[in-house]
Amino acid sequence: MVSYATEKWTTLRLIHTEITELDERDRAQVKAIGERLMEPLLATMHAARPALPADVAVFQVRACFAVLGGLASRSPSALDHGMQAVTGRVLLAILMA
């Protein structure tokens, strides 16, 4: 997740900063894409932690997306390997909570 967000930083920043400027139809499309991105992550979480309640898994994945969205406020040069490693540990802590 961190590597993908770092590689797609420009797209992530555009979505993060411009979503409020989109009309309702386009915002709905962006939201639908986000929901589709959640599906494989939720399936993976369910496979790894079958006893985890679905609503908790959804909350954890959305929290991870929020952290990744926060990367959009940083400059690409700030996302060096060290920051990627820290972000990865934060995401893992969220997912394991």
| pLDDT one-digit tens code per residue, 48-72 | 999 999 999 999 999 988 888 777 7
Report, as an integer, the average pLDDT of 8-22: 75
Give strand ranges (E) for the chain. none
Boundaries of every domain in the chain: 2-96
**What is the model's pLDDT at position 49?**
93
Rounded Cα gap, residues 61 and 57, in angstroms: 6
User: How many alpha carbons fall within 13 Å on the CB side of residue 13?
Assistant: 12
Statement: the pTM of the whole predicted model exceeds 0.75: no
Helices (H), the chain: 2-7, 9-18, 24-48, 54-70, 81-96
CA distance 19 to 27: 6
